[in-house]
Structure 1
Amino acid sequence: MLYTSPGCPDCAAVRRYLNDRGVSFVERDVTAPGIADEAKARYGVRIAPITVVGEDFCYGTFADQKTKLDALLRAVR
């Protein structure tokens, strides 16, 4: 799952990263009613992007997430 916000360059970078690797995901827009609250309740943050892989998640800039995403995706493949 990928929590995003419209116009967010880091959200677009994570989306592109996942698509380039053939990873399917459900995208949730944090500006839609209730979605930011859902993200806060589940992951403790309301900011985008939040990337969820299995039971793990990461958030912050794409640069902050990339190393963890590389490891998480290797683990699930």
Structure 2
Amino acid sequence: MAQITVYTVPNCADCEAVKRLLTSQGATFTEKNVREDPAALAEMQAKANVRIAPVTVIDNQVFYGFFDDQRPGILEALARRP
């Protein structure tokens, strides 16, 4: 099963949309708030080379940007998982 991490910030509509999508697909994920956790921010930057949430990591695949930009890749990655 895929290891999924979602890097978020509070009051972020795109972050909430990513979490709703994952939940609707039955995916279990870990959420890391990069505003409150400097280690999570550094981890997100190392994986995605961006400073803006949301960032979604499914195994070794990294998706970032607006929800509408991430959605197709997330769905494809979820469809390929065992």
Which residue number corresponds to residue 55 of structure 1? Answer: 60
Cα RMSD, aligned residues only = 1.0
Work out the CA distance in 1 between the residues paired with 2:69 and 2:18. 11
**How far is 1:42 from its partner?**
2.3
Structure 1 residue runs of 4+, over 2 Å off?
A: none
Q: TM-score, normalised by structure 2?
A: 0.87
Q: What is the letter of the counterpart of residue 26 of structure 2? A: G
Among candidates 27, 30, 33, match of residue 34 of structure 2 = 30
Q: 1 or 2 for the larger relative contact order (CA 8 Å, sep ≥6)?
A: 2
Which residue number corresponds to residue 12 of structure 1? Answer: 16
Shifted more, 49-58 versus 35-44: the winner is 35-44
Q: How many residues align?
A: 77
Q: Deviations over 1:47-76 (max 9, x none)?
A: 110001011010011100011111111111
Work out the CA distance in 1 between the residues paired with 2:76 and 2:36. 30
Q: TM-score, normalised by structure 1?
A: 0.92
Q: Structure 2: 5+ residue runs without aligned partners?
A: none
